[in-house]
Amino acid sequence: MVETYKAVTVATHYWRPGDDYLRQLVDAIENRIENRNVVAISEKAISIAMGNIVDESVVKPRWKARFLAKYWMRYIWGYFLGSLCHLRKTTIRHLRGYPLKEGSAHKQLVLEHAGLLQALMFGSEGGIDGSNLPYSYVSLPLRNASETAHKIRSYIKSKLGKSVTVMIVDTDKTYSIRGFHFTPRPKPINGIDSFGGFLAHVLGRLLKLKRRATPIAVAGLAMHVEKALEIAEIANRVRGFGAGRTVWDMAKTFDVSITGVTWDMLDAIKHRPIVVVTIHK
């Protein structure tokens, strides 16, 4: 029997560091969920609320990070890999003008937290992401996503009396070929292989493999990896990109520099960190 999915976004205000995201999540989904629903939540929104962010303006780049920003990103990505990986023309243009000061600090942070193979990537290296964050802040991946997912599920059960499956989703892509799933993103769910960083990223895009958002934790229903990927991608598509898909898109939204976005600007944007998915059989 073929399953179908109905996904509904749930809008909230922007979750800032220190916000009680559990209470706000429950308030937002009350009267919107039923038993056996899947509640898919953005990893980044949770990470920000938990204060799992870094201000890159205080990061001191070394020579390797400066080399990556000045030469690897501007020339290798800007004139070779960008086209090879079928990136948007606007993205390639941005890469050719990759910011040296901010970019060097970002690459230094990635090198320290995720290593060289991640630093060679373009965008969300090692799950580190600056979109939908103000100033020079970036979010780090959750340290224990599975534990967080179970905590959220238990909280929903205790407050609303509903038994749901909680999925935490990252926009970083998982690539699939003949039942084999791989991602450059560290620590996805079981059934998705994580390896290679930059190499997996380039391979998946070069071959135009099927790509979907990455589920990094599932608490509740025992779920086959293919089903988890389908739900993660559906949730990702309906959620949208908030203030922008990339830091450049975000800056364009507010007509400021890439480090000129403020908390108040982000507060003014409608955010949809939660998607409620109903499975129909």
Q: What is the pLDDT of residues 40-83, one digit of tens each?
A: 999 999 999 999 999 999 999 999 999 999 999 999 999 999 99
Is 127:154 a contact under the CB 8 Å cutoff? Answer: no
Q: Which pLDDT score, from 0 to 100, does residue 244 have?
A: 84
Where, residue-wise, is CATH 3.30.1330.100 in the chain? 4-50+145-280
Distance CA 49, CA 161 (A): 24
% helix / strand / coil in the chain, to the nearest 5?
45, 20, 35
pLDDT digits (tens, 9 = 90+) for 121-167: 998 899 999 999 999 999 999 999 999 999 999 999 999 999 999 99
The pTM of this model reads 0.95
Please report how many Cα atoms fall inside a 13 Å half-sphere around the Cα of residue 223, on the Cβ side. 26
Dig out the tokens for 22 from the structure.
Answer: 């559990």
230-271, pLDDT tens digit by residue? Answer: 999 999 999 988 888 889 999 999 999 999 999 999 999 889
All residues at 6 or more sequence positions from 50 whose CB lies less than 8 Å from its CB, including other chains: 17, 21, 142
Phi, psi angles (nearest 5°) of residue 120: -75, -10
Domain 4-50+145-280 coded CATH 3.40.50.300: no
Q: How far apart are CA 68 and CA 81, in angstroms?
A: 14
Residue 83 identity? S
Token pair, residue 118, equals: 């991640």
The DSSP 8-state label assigned to residue 125 in this structure reads G
